[in-house]
Amino acid sequence: QMQLQESGPGLVKPSQTLSLTCTVSGGSITSGGYYWSWLRQHPGKGLEWIGFISYSGSTHYNPSLKSRVTISLDTSQNQFSLKLTSVTAADTVVYYCARGVYHMLSGYYIDYWGQGTLVTVSS
C-alpha cells in the first residue's frame, strides 16, 4: 500500500526558507509514470498545486510560485523534497506531498496523498 509522509519544521521565520521532505513507502519513486507532487491548503480554504517532479527528475512548477520553489528527488532514500524561499505569513498553510498520475490520455491527478503538515511562518 502506497504511503507518503511529510516531515520538516513546523515553524519557519519570515524571509527564511521552508524545507519539507516526503518519505514514500510501498513503492519506488523511480517508478515510471508518476509525478511526485507538492500541494498546499490554507486552513478552511481551497487547494493550491505547488509543483511536481517526475520519476526522471524533470520539474514543473506553479507559475505563481516558480521563482521561490525547488522540488528535488533523493532516490537513495525514496524521498522527495520541497524548498520554498523568502517565506511570509501568507505561506502559513498545510502542505501535502502526493503522488500524481500524468498522461496525455488522462491529464494530471493525485491518487495518493500524505496526511499533510502545518507550517507556520512567524518570528
Partner 1 sequence: SYELTQAPSVSVSPGQTARITCSGDALPKQYAHWYQQKPGQAPVLVIYKDTERPSGIPQRFSGSSSGTTLTLTISGVQTEDEADYYCQSADSSGTYWVFGGGTKLTVL
Which residues of the chain form contacts with partner 1 (CB under 8 A)? 45-49, 60, 62-64, 96, 101, 106-111, 113-116
Could you please report the per-residue DSSP string of 38-53?
Answer: EEEE-TTS-EEEEEEE
- Complex with partner 1: residue 75 or 115, whichever CB lies closer: 115
> Grid coordinates representing 98?
502526493
Q: Which three cell numbers stand for residue 119?
A: 507550517
Reduce the DSSP state of residue 66 to 3 states and report it.
helix
Minimal distance, residue 41 CB to partner 1, in Å: 9
* Residues 109/111/116/119 CA torsion (nearest 10 deg): -30
CA-to-CA distance for 92 and 116, rounded, in angstroms?
13
Nearer to partner 1, 34 or 96 (CB): 96
Kindly state the smallest distance separating residue 50's Cβ from partner 1, in Å. Answer: 10
Tell me the closest approach of the beta carbon of residue 105 to partner 1, in angstroms.
Answer: 8
Q: Which is nearer to partner 1, 105 or 123 (CB)?
A: 105
Q: To the nearest whole angstrom, how small is the minimum distance from the Cβ of residue 4 to partner 1?
A: 9
Q: Nearer Cβ to partner 1, position 11 or 118?
A: 118
Distance of CA 13 to CAs 85, 91, 123, Å? 11, 11, 5
